[in-house]
Amino acid sequence: MNDFQIESYNVIVADGSFPQHDIPLGYLKNANKIICCDGSAQNLILSGMHPDAIVGDMDSLNVDLVNRFADRIYLDESQDTNDLTKAVTWCSEMGYKNIVIVGATGKREDHTLGNISLLAEYVRYMNVIMVTDTGILQPFLKSSAISSCPGQQVSIFSIDPETEITSFGLRYPLSRTKIKNWWFATLNEALGDSFSLEFNDGRVIVYLKFL
C-alpha cells in the first residue's frame, strides 16, 4: 500500500522533520487542503506551499507569519492535548474525515512515539494514515484486508497487548498472537498484493515500508 485509497483528502503537517521523500510530498501537492500545526507552517512555506489553516497555541509561530496568515489562524491554547491532536480535532469539527498526516516523526523520539500511538485514537472518528519518508502507518480497529506489494516489509503493533491477532498473506504468520512488546511483530513481509489481519477487539497499527 503506497497510496491512500481515497480521492479527496486533507493533509496535516506536524512539526517534526519536514518530508523529503516523493510520496509524502506528493500527498502534500495533491491535498484538498493543508493544515499546519503552528510550528510546521514555516517549513511548509519554505518548500513553496502555503497553509490553508494553522492550528495550535502559536507558541512556535513567529510574529511575521502570525500577521501574514492572520485570516487562517485557529488558536487553541489547551494544554490537555498536543498540537497534532488539536489539528486533527479541528479537521473533525470542519467535517474533514479523510486525513493524511506528514511531518510527525524524525525529531524527538518521545514525540514520534506519541504521535504514532495517537493514530489509534484518531481512527475512531476519521480515516487517517501517517506518511513518513520511509513508509506508511495505518491504524485499524477491526479485522481488515490491507493492500500491499509482494516483498513489501510489514510491521504490526498492538496498542492493546491482550488482543489476539491472526494474519494471512505474511511470510511469518501470526496465529492468535498477543503482541506484548513493540518489537515482536516487526520485520515481516507481504507475500502478495494484499494481506489480512483478524482480531476481535483492539487497536492495531500497521507499518508498510516503501519499496
If asked whether residues 79 and 149 sit together in one domain, one would say: no
* Of the residues 105, 133, 161, the one at which a domain ends: 133
For residue 211, the model assigns a pLDDT of: 93
CATH code where residue 147 lies: 2.60.120.320
Q: Within 10 Å of residue 72's Cβ, how many Cβ atoms?
A: 15
Q: Give the distance from CA 85 to its chain's centroid.
A: 11
For residue 180, give the H/E element and its range: none
Q: Tell me the residue range of the domain where 18 lies.
A: 10-133
* Of the residues 112, 133, 154, the one at which a domain ends: 133
CB 144 within 8 A of CB 137: no
Distance CA 178, CA 165 (A): 6
CATH code where residue 119 lies: 3.40.50.10240
- Identify which of 194, 180, 189, 207 has the alpha carbon closest to the alpha carbon of residue 148: 194
77 belongs to a structural domain: yes
3 belongs to a structural domain: no
Q: What is the mean pLDDT of each run of 10 residues along the chain (211 residues)?
A: 65 96 96 94 94 90 89 88 94 96 95 96 96 97 96 97 97 97 97 97 97 93
For residue 6, the model assigns a pLDDT of: 61
For residue 62, the model assigns a pLDDT of: 86
For residue 1, the model assigns a pLDDT of: 38
169 belongs to a structural domain: yes
- String of DSSP letters for the chain: --S-S-SS-EEEE-SSSPP-SHHHHHHHHT-S-EEEEGGGHHHHHHTT---SEEEE--TTS-HHHHHHTGGGEEE---SSS-HHHHHHHHHHHTT--EEEEES-SSS-HHHHHHHHHHHHHHTTTSEEEEE-SSEEEEEESS-EEEE--TT-EEEEEESSTT-EEEEESBSS--SSEE--STTTT-SEEB-SSEEEEE-SS--EEEEEE--
User: Would you state the cell numbers that stand for residue 28, as one nine-digit string?
Assistant: 502534500
Total number of domains in the chain? 2
If asked whether residues 47 and 107 sit together in one domain, one would say: yes
For residue 61, the model assigns a pLDDT of: 83
Does the pTM of the predicted model rise above 0.85?
yes
